[in-house]
Amino acid sequence: MSTPLASNANRRFRVLWILLFWLILGVGSYVLGVLSSTGQAVEDNLLSASNFNAHPPAPLSLVSPFAIAIALVALGLVALWVHGIGRALTVTLVPAVAIVASQLLKSEVLGRPELLTLGAENSFPSGHMTVFGTIVGAAIFAAPSRIRPILTAGGAVLLGVVSWQLLGYGWHRPSDVLGALALAVAGFAIVTMFTGLNRPPRAWLLGTVSVGLVIIGWLAVAAALILTLVAWQSVNADLMLSAGQAGSIGVSLLAAHSLLRLAALTYSPKAG
């Protein structure tokens, strides 16, 4: 029988694993997609098949500073009522810091070398995907535990739709989307590392949603890798776009899964 100290260490290790996974994914997306000539060629080929739309439909069109502020204030109040002041600070400050960080990384820190004949402005990580990723994370952390799995499933669908839009409407490349999702999840994981942890509830709905997101997410990622190889060999830009969208949707589901697990581990002084 494990001691409380050992159990807490195991929970810390789970959080650390989640953090390392998303840090590696984020850095890997930048190295392979932006700093690699092959990655740039693949993503530019994908981007050529998109239909650029400057005025996309919802949910992508819903992003604005006012809407972000309203969402964070509302989620902060819900978290304060359900979990207390600590969780309220988490669901408001983590998204705010991540959104600012994404803009600084894109414009001031990270660059896109001109490895191909046509240079392009850096767009890594996606600011819009960072917004949606952190808002979904904030909603998952703010929600009462009994409805959190249902909210997570809905958030996963939302992230999948947004990632599909960002690629389909030519706003971003897959690496931008993956980097933004990594930034969002890593932000919540870092905060979770320094907060109290508790034992995740043994609820069938939590387990079902968690397992479902993992299975469907990894299947989508595997399908994307296969489609990418086929599209590269056949020089099919449309198929490459489909591969990128499938992969982004898969990673979106995995991000929702990680956020659900982090929220379930985070201690709440109130009944959730």
Distance CA 127, CA 11 (A): 31
Backbone angles phi, psi at 129, to 5 degrees: -70, -35
Q: Scanning the structure block, which residue is given the tokens 């909603």? A: 139
**Token pair 């387990």 in the structure block, residue:** 207
- pLDDT at site 272: 43
Smallest CA-to-CA distance from 90 within 40, 34, 148, 140 is with 140
Helix (H/G/I), strand (E/B), else coil: 161: helix
- Please give the average pLDDT of every successive group of 10 residues along the chain, which has 272 residues: 61 93 98 94 92 92 95 97 94 97 94 79 94 98 95 98 97 96 98 86 87 98 96 92 97 98 87 48
Which of 49, 15, 22 minimizes the C-alpha distance to 231? 49
Q: What is the structure's pLDDT at 1?
A: 44
Neighbours of 6 (CB within 10 A): 10
On the question of a cis peptide bond just before residue 59, with omega within 30 degrees of 0, the verdict is yes
- Return d(Cα 6, Cα 51) in angstroms, integer: 53
Name the residue among 4, 19, 12, 5 with its Cα closest to residue 189: 19
Read off the tokens for 90.
Answer: 């988490």
Q: What local confidence, expressed as pLDDT, does residue 269 receive?
A: 79
**Site of tokens 């968690």:** 210
Tell me the pTM: 0.94
Residue 11 to residue 27: CA distance in whole angstroms: 25
